[in-house]
Amino acid sequence: MSQTIKTNYPALYTLIVVFFFWGFMAAGNNIFIPFCKDYFHLDQFQSQLIDFAFYTAYYIGALILFAISNVKGKDLVTFWGYKRSIVYGLLFSVIGAVAMILAVEANVYYGMLIGLFTVALGFSLQQTAANPFAILLGDEKTGASRVNLGGGINSLGTTIGPLVVAFALFGTTAAVTENQIKSLSLDKVVLLYVCVGLLFIGAAALFYFSKKLPEGKSTEPIEKAPKALNMLLIMTVLLLTCFSFVFSTYKETSEIIDKASLESTRVLWLSLAFIVVILSLLFAYKKASTNNQGWGAMKYPQLVLGMLAIFMYVGVEVAIGSNLGELLKTSEFGSFSSSEIALYISMYWGSMMIGRWAGAVSAFNLAKSKQTFLTILLPLVAFAVVITANTLAQYDMTHLYGFIGCVVIQIVLILVTKNAPAKTLMGFSLFGIIALLVGLNTTGTIAIYAFLCGGLACSIMWPAIYNLSLMGLGKYTAQGSSFLVMMILGGGIIPPIQGKMADIIGIHSSYIVSLVCFVYLLIFAFIVVKILKKQNINIE
């Protein structure tokens, strides 16, 4: 008879503090994007560089960790311990907050990108440690639920983040015109990042001095993966080459008369960056299946295809939210000003919280009837929290009350899929596809609701993909987790692609990029089931 491992709840509650920070900062970027576009006179692609800087840092940070670990023959995160790694990550993010303050004081857009990049480098280390740490704090079978619980708190941060950042930027929740935006001061952003930096320091102290948190250390040497490292380094060089051509075209803009040709060139190089990631991972998949020596965790096909799934998932999650502000400025969607879109972005990221709160129910040892009741109740409570938070911020939310119907659809999906990772991913990928198809073929309130449903669809995909990708990896789990964190890179590549498509075919039609991402996630859900069954792994 197998012994049930009790969850270390005090440690878990301490851990989920960092999940809040990730959400707060990521969703806050969605307000910075339309604001910076107006304030610094940028096009849609240039404004999306905020996402590029933020999410590319996850890839670079995880790659550096993997490279050093591969050279030393030991996993740095487990060598330091999960607890100490999170402390180091938080302190590194403090450096980013200071860099952000200096850039804002100098009123330099690209300096702000460097600050956000540095903050996210710290997040990369935190996330590499936090996800496997959450699984370590209890029974492995309920690990996804603990990650979901962290995701629920993360989504609370994403709900609050846009409102706080909007207030910091505009100093009000009332509408601000584009001309007023151009004359605004960034002084309050300095205060915001002073507070953020102090919160990072406080969280680091909480982790460092907490006696309830296990160290999560391991001195076991790891198998080196030189082939995986070489593939990732080559992929990185190719990506940097692609983006260097994209960025260089901006310096030449004044010398180029054929603007259509310029736009086509930018799309070409952005698309090549996207293709580089896909072909690199498919190359690893094929080579490792032939001879798995030297590939480390990448010798497992579920991980390699899962890396691409995380790439697509983070890409679509960020792309929908980051381009939403520009969409709402169009006449077909209400002609909202930059300051008025905060409530919609808050609802989008709040949709993540709605699903994750329900998904976290099974993290607690409750009777089946109570779990079912809470699965129905908590999404409704989360929806009320989002409505209440925005109402307190003096936004009129009456036109979003009807969105509760979409929440009910999500509740039904959660009950049908029963928190089983493969079924969850299948059901919610299909939900996302249908939502995007509706959004692309309609306008006004119906389309807005449909695109907001993208948040509901994405809400509990991360733990499902994460669990399916790491199943059966054994001693390679920590390394596999690092590879998955690298693929948060999708949030840095896919949104700019959609942004550039928006500059060419229009912001509404550009959402076809997000649709493609959901299609792959559905395909992965079916393929990974067959892969795991061949390895005699019971996925449910």
Mean local confidence (pLDDT), 29-34: 72
What pLDDT, on the 0 to 100 scale, is given for residue 316?
Answer: 94
Q: What are 494's two structure tokens? A: 């896919």
Asked if residue 433 has pLDDT above 80, the reply is: yes
User: What's the one-letter identity of residue 203?
Assistant: A
Most confident of the following: 14-28, 118-132, 521-535: 521-535
Mean local confidence (pLDDT), 221-244: 88
State the SS3 of 477-492: HHHHHHHHHHHHHHHH
Of residues 514 and 140, more confidently modeled: 514
Q: Among 110-119, 242-251, 397-406, 424-433, whose mean pLDDT is lowest? A: 242-251
State the greatest distance between any 2 C-alpha atoms of the chain, in Å, as a whole number. Answer: 75
Of residues 191 and 202, more confidently modeled: 202
What DSSP character marks residue 330? Answer: S
Mean local confidence (pLDDT), 143-161: 71
Mean local confidence (pLDDT), 21-31: 72
User: What's the one-letter identity of residue 169?
Assistant: L
Mean local confidence (pLDDT), 512-533: 94
Instruction: Calculate the CA 529 to chain-centre distance.
Output: 24
For tokens 């109570």, the residue is 370
For residue 40, what pLDDT band results from cuts at 50, 70 and 90?
confident
The answer to whether 232 touches 63, Cβ cutoff 8 Å, is: yes
User: Helix %, strand %, coil % for the chain, to 5?
Assistant: 80, 0, 20
Q: What is the mean pLDDT of the chain?
A: 82
Q: Among 134-138, 237-241, 289-293, 467-471, whose mean pLDDT is lowest? A: 134-138
What pLDDT, on the 0 to 100 scale, is given for residue 262?
Answer: 64
What pLDDT, on the 0 to 100 scale, is given for residue 292?
Answer: 85
Of residues 130 and 458, more confidently modeled: 458
What pLDDT, on the 0 to 100 scale, is given for residue 346?
Answer: 79
What pLDDT, on the 0 to 100 scale, is given for residue 174?
Answer: 45
Give the DSSP letter string of 229-240: HHHHHHHHHHHH
* Residue 323 zone, left/alpha/beta (φ > 0; ψ -120 to 50; rest): alpha
Helices (H), 107-186: 109-136, 143-170, 178-182
* 3-class secondary structure, 287: helix
Measured CA to CA, the distance from residue 209 to residue 307 in angstroms comes to: 34
Please, what is the Cα angle at 166 between 160 and 167, to 5 degrees? 90
Residues in contact with 335: Cβ distance below 8 Å, sequence separation at least 6, in sequence order: 329
Most confident of the following: 44-53, 150-159, 347-356: 347-356
Measured CA to CA, the distance from residue 93 to residue 116 in angstroms comes to: 9
What pLDDT, on the 0 to 100 scale, is given for residue 142?
Answer: 63
Asked if residue 197 has pLDDT above 60, the reply is: yes
What pLDDT, on the 0 to 100 scale, is given for residue 252?
Answer: 46
What pLDDT, on the 0 to 100 scale, is given for residue 219?
Answer: 66
The answer to whether 78 touches 477, Cβ cutoff 8 Å, is: no
